[in-house]
Amino acid sequence: MSQTKMILDLDTGVDDALAIAYALGSPEIELIGITGTYGNVLMEQGVHNSLAILDLLGHPEVPVFRGIDHSRTTSGFEVLEISAFIHGKNGIGDVEIPPSPRTADPRSAADFIIESVHTYGKDLVYVPTGPLANLAAAIERDPSIKTKIGNVVLMGGALTVPGNVNPFTEANISQDPEAAHLVFTSGIPTVMVGLDVTLQTLLTYKETARWRDLQTAAGVFLADMTDYYIKAYETTAPHLGGCGLHDPLAVGVAVDPSLVGTHAINLMCETEGPSRGRTIGDPARLNDPKKNTEVCLTVDVNRFLHEFMSRITGLATRA
């Protein structure tokens, strides 16, 4: 089987960690690298987490790259209190795991993205689950990647539902609306896996108990970390009855697009006024027959949950 090459771009919190596990547990995918961004945690903490999680899950061969650590309109970044509440101070539910003896690759995230697009072309899928800062930087540095890359499947945004930062904007997009606008209007092919679908795919203690029962280091880690996240959801969104599987759904869609139903649209991101950070149709390209973005609006919840559990449980049994 020829494997799709995947780069994950992560602000490694709890659901990012589950996205790593989903990718590593998918035989259709070769995870060729993780690029680091900021959001749930500081970029450096995310890189630290990604290295440690890759080692724990039995894949120390996957390189990790430092990325941009704040938005293009700010001089720095501080983790929001709500992010620390949802993901824990260390980003992975305050669960302690051994730090990796490895360090980040010396190349920058943007350089690795550009290099990978030129090496793998249409066989490469890039999955960002934080702000779109690294991809925006890569497009600015080498615009030729826009037509050469296979696909960009991003977790972020909201089209038919309100945002989760305010009624207009979703957390990842809100971290750098200018970067999101640059990506959406660049012509690069994107699939938006936003709150429209990720708040339909929920995980409960029933599923995490299966991982703990494996009695492997990976199984216990995934269960303890995710339980912290589910507990936070009981406070922040008690009506849901579980935690949202945001980032893993983006990996799931990258592996198998038939899990979702999509709407083709040319998107933009508003950068001014109270609706700053809103992902919405671009009126200037309404009549352009070529649509650059597929927005996920429906998801086969049961089939996704089955894929999620079987892939991650399989990986955690071995690791």
As a whole number of angstroms, the distance between CA 29 and CA 205 comes to: 28
Residue number, nearest CB to Ca ion: 129
**Choice among 9, 11, 224, 247 that is catalytic:** 11
- Residues of this chain that interact with Ca ion (CB under 5 A) are 11, 16, 129-130, 247
Please say which residue, 32 or 86, places its beta carbon nearer to Ca ion.
86
Please say which residue, 212 or 246, places its beta carbon nearer to Ca ion.
246
Shortest CB 11 distance to Ca ion, Å: 5
Nearest to 120 by CA among 156, 143, 148: 148
- 11 included as an active-site residue: yes
**DSSP letters spanning 238-276:** TTTSSEE-HHHHHHHHHH-GGGEEEEEE-EEE--SSTTT
- 181 included as an active-site residue: no
Nearest to 275 by CA among 130, 158, 153, 154: 158
Q: Within the chain, where are the H helices? A: 14-24, 43-56, 81-87, 109-120, 133-141, 145-148, 171-174, 177-184, 195-198, 205-212, 217-236, 246-255, 301-318
Token look-up 């980032």 returns 247
Please say which residue, 207 or 247, places its beta carbon nearer to Ca ion.
247
The token pair at 121 is 């072309």
Shortest CB 88 distance to Ca ion, Å: 14
Please say which residue, 150 or 244, places its beta carbon nearer to Ca ion.
244
Residues 6+ positions from 291 with CB-CB distance below 8 Å: 264, 265, 266
Shortest CB 208 distance to Ca ion, Å: 19
Shortest CB 16 distance to Ca ion, Å: 4
Shortest CB 80 distance to Ca ion, Å: 13
Please say which residue, 68 or 212, places its beta carbon nearer to Ca ion.
68
Do you know the residue count of the chain? 319
As a whole number of angstroms, the distance between CA 29 and CA 32 comes to: 9
Nearest to 277 by CA among 152, 154, 178: 178
**Choice among 9, 196, 246, 247 that is catalytic:** 246
Helix, strand or coil for residue 215?
coil
Q: Catalytic site residues?
A: 11, 246
